[in-house]
Amino acid sequence: MNTITADHAGPTAPGAVDPTADEGRRRFLMAALQHDAADDAVTGLLFEHVVLGRYHWTVVANSLAPILSEVTAVAEEADWIAVADHVLDPEAPVADPQGSRRSEQGTDFTVALIRGFLRSACEDPLVGERLARRPEIGRRGFDPAFRAGALKEEVLDAFRTGTEEDWNLIAGQLIAEARDVTGPAAEGARD
């Protein structure tokens, strides 16, 4: 598992940025980028940068948030309701219907992949803290669409918390890992 650590450590002065908050946010964004729903797009982007040399590293950094937005943009109200139900009762069986949806960018996502991505985001401690401040999400009897709307708001807000520095550090780490590939593929595949 990839982790991103802050460049500094130690106590935080009043009014200063908390480095643990930065770490949590970067870990959350990195985990989302590593999910199956985003991984192909990230891998393609890194291939074009590292192997083909098409992009400056800042293009990679600026392309990461839109990859996550592409996945969340195809989620429909029914997906958010299903994920809100999962948050309410994590032990309940997962209900992922068949089918897929095409994003505006032309990527096909299965409904199961979309919902898995959203559930994964909800299970992250960063989003969990945000959801804990919204008790209506966890209450039975609330309108499912209302609960789903509150959940969607918190998840999307969590994705939007990424700063330019976060995306630059994440891009740097992803690029370094892509360049550090080892194994048969790095040596040239041999039969």
Read off the tokens for 138.
């966890």
Q: Is the predicted pLDDT of residue 45 greater than 50, yes or no?
A: yes
pLDDT, position 181: 74
Q: Where are the domains of the chain?
A: 20-180
Q: How many residues does the chain have?
A: 191
pLDDT band at 29 (very low <50, low <70, confident <90, very high): very high
Instruction: Tell me the pTM.
Output: 0.81
